Amino acid sequence: MGIFLDNFHKIYQNGNYKREVIEMVTRMEYLQKLLDWKDEKVIKVITGIRRCGKSTLLLQYQEHLKEQGIDIALAVVKVGEDPASAVYVRNKEKACEYVGIKSITYALKEETTQEELLELIDKLNADKEINGILVQLPLPKHLDETEVLNRIDSKKDVDGFHAMNSGRLMNGQPSFVPCEETFLPCTPAGIVELIKRTGVEISGKECVVIGRSNIVGKPMAMLMLKENATVTIAHSRTKDLKEVTKR
């Protein structure tokens, strides 16, 4: 039923939508040639702006928050000066502002130590005014990403990267938050939503996920299994990728 590319979302790093859509199509055409797909109809570019409207879901949540009188605060931690990370953080700040969520960004220096970063996370975990914590990836090479992500209170882990939330996703269990599902990595969850909005029936389809990262590839596969797709995960060691992607 098509192919999902792990880390393909990186094409949106510089925020130039028009140019990046062109780049996305170019990459898909390259992939078509690489995998020797003869049928051009195999490729279908799904754009979220067209399918969902830029603000449809945001407006729904905005109204829900107003009706419930809920005040929510998101803490975003960025370490270093990675250009792509800076764009992602700014976009998150804008999205929070749009729906009335308080966003607090902690921009730490490149040389921040593991101990200093963990100390900040502990502080945010204990802060009752903070509902969600997000550590922007990638971190500088001298920092232990796994330890940092698992230090976040799993109930505040909005990215869904904590081992507890990853495990609950694997087992299909609900989260600690009453009446809510497990925190899900946003890119895979967004892909599932986009596919559903195209009208494609996922159940029973063959699905090939290229990439096995903890951020996109693995959770993408789990979410497609939840939708009753038959999933194959391909990666750098997969033999005869062309044939695998033709399923």
Per the annotation, the verdict on 136 as an active-site residue is yes
H or E segment and range at residue 73: strand 73-79
Q: Which of 6, 82, 157, 159 is catalytic?
A: 159
What is the signed CA dihedral for 26, 30, 31, 33, rounded to 10 degrees?
A: 140
Q: Say if CB 158 and CB 183 are below 8 A apart.
A: yes
Structural tokens at position 181: 């599902």
Residue 212 CA to residue 106 CA, distance in Å, equals 30
Respond yes or no on whether the N-terminal peptide bond of residue 138 is cis (omega within 30° of 0): yes
Q: Which of 136, 156, 157, 218 is catalytic?
A: 136
Residue 11 CA to residue 174 CA, distance in Å, equals 32
Per the annotation, the verdict on 92 as an active-site residue is yes
Per the annotation, the verdict on 68 as an active-site residue is no
Q: Say if CB 82 and CB 112 are below 8 A apart.
A: no
End-to-end Cα separation, the chain, in angstroms: 8
Beta-bridge mates of residue 76: 105, 134
Beta-bridge mates of residue 134: 76
- Residue for token pair 């507890």: 164
Q: Which of 6, 78, 82, 92 is catalytic?
A: 92
- Residue for token pair 């790093």: 13
Structural tokens at position 80: 């270093």
Residues with a known catalytic role: 92, 136, 159
